[in-house]
Amino acid sequence: MPRAAFTYEALPYRVVFGEGTLARAADEAGRLGIKRALVLTTPAQHAEGIELGHVLGERLAGSFPEAAMHTPIAVTERAIGLIEANDIDGLVALGGGSAIGLSKALSLRTGLPQIVLPTTYAGSEMTPILGETRDGIKTTQRRRDIVPDIVIYDVDLTMSLPASISATSGLNAMAHAVEALYAPEANPIISLMAEEGIAALARALPQIVASPSDRDARSDALLGAWLCGICLGAVSMSLHHKLCHVLGGSFNLPHAETHAIMLPHVVAYNAKAAPGAMRRIAKALDAPDAALGLFGLQRRLKVPLALADIGMPEDGIDLAAELATRNAYANPRSLDRAALRELLARAWRGEVPLS
């Protein structure tokens, strides 16, 4: 049988991966001609931002430790004022999706080059996607020119990520790879990365939860997160990401926990419609069944199992099922509102996915 036709397009970032790679930030800034960098972090990671500033040395012009979840435009506008007043010529973000989102939002408006140092497994650094919020309403756009120019992965920066956040953030990353395997634009390169990304995280996350200072596991997890981030940036996502977007937006549920809870249920929903992807997910998990393998991993990682436990009201299930089926989008199995309602009800109660 001939191979399925595909299109593959690579994004143009430079990636530096290793331990102690934070030390290379000044040289990397030099590659981009940055002489007056602005360091971006959340308030919680201001101390790491100061350390990064020391590494940048003469190339540092200021810091802005105000990045926040879902990239509020009001925060971005405050940072622009600082950029204009200080003649900033480059952005260096350290943190998870919040700090990296701010960097992308600023680059979009100013055209400034970006270096990012990810400290979670969320994967935003590898994508041309930016979600921003104004007055609580989130809009998402996809543009090649917001992809960071240089990504420095430093395993050391992930050592402080608490075990519980590592687990949910890692499952969030896995969800990108899972949906890449059944995406309409799935292609051989991205599917290889997806399978290896899932396998690396499935090996590493239980070890991190058991022993958060295990450097080998941290390194494996970061590599897996990188691969999963590439998947998110390369192909379109389906039902899982749509449901998580709806749940986060409608009920203000925490991002990574929502992904962690929903993934086995969505995989079970799509199982019969995407048998090839299911075989690859199961193989990567070293489990007989993809959905049950993910559910088992979730339990071993001691992450929340029920939407009820993270603040979702039971009477929101109908609304979520309605919103997730309101507009058409690609998914291996057609969107059936009653079946989605059942999926959400099981996830709300934390039950085994209906495989």
**Residues forming the site for ligand NAD (CB under 6 A):** 42, 44-45, 69-70, 95-99, 101, 119-120, 122-124, 127, 129-131, 157-158, 160-161, 169, 232, 255-256
Q: Residues, the chain, total?
A: 355
Q: Which is nearer to ligand NAD, 91 or 292 (CB)?
A: 91
Q: Rounded to the nearest whole angstrom, what is the least distance from the CB of residue 252 to ligand NAD in the complex?
A: 12
Cβ 352 to ligand NAD, closest distance in Å?
A: 26
Question: Which residue, 61 or 232, has its beta carbon nearer to ligand NAD?
Answer: 232
Which C-beta is closer to ligand NAD: that of 59 or that of 259? Answer: 259
Q: CA 36 to CA 297: how far, in whole Å?
A: 45
Shortest Å, Cβ 212 to ligand NAD: 10
**Which tokens belong to 51?**
């350390």
Closer residue to ligand NAD in complex, CB, 120/238:
120
Between residues 11 and 189, which has the closer beta carbon with respect to ligand NAD? Answer: 11
Alpha carbons 40 and 349: distance in angstroms, whole number:
39
Q: Give the containing element (helix H, strand E) for 136.
A: none
Q: Return phi, psi of residue 282, to 5°.
A: -60, -40
Cβ(325)–Cβ(334) below 8 Å: no
Q: How far apart are CA 245 and CA 29, in angstroms?
A: 34
Compute the C-alpha angle 187/192/194, nearest 5°.
90
Which residues, 6+ apart, have CB-to-CB distance to 136 below 8 Å?
none
Bridge partners of 138, per DSSP, are: 133
In the complex, the smallest distance separating the C-beta of residue 308 from ligand NAD, rounded to whole angstroms, is 21
Q: 120 vs 191, which CB is nearer to ligand NAD?
A: 120
Q: How far is the CB of 95 from ligand NAD (least distance, A)?
A: 5
The residue with its CB nearest to ligand NAD is: 97
**Two tokens at 60?**
């540092």
Smallest gap, in angstroms, from Cβ of residue 121 to ligand NAD?
7
Distance CA 328, CA 236 (A): 14
Q: CB 100 → ligand NAD: shortest distance, Å?
A: 7
Nearer Cβ to ligand NAD, position 124 or 191?
124
Query: Quick one: DSSP state of residue 57?
Result: G
With 0-12 / 13-18 / 19 or more C-beta atoms within 10 angstroms meaning exposed / middle / buried, residue 2 is exposed
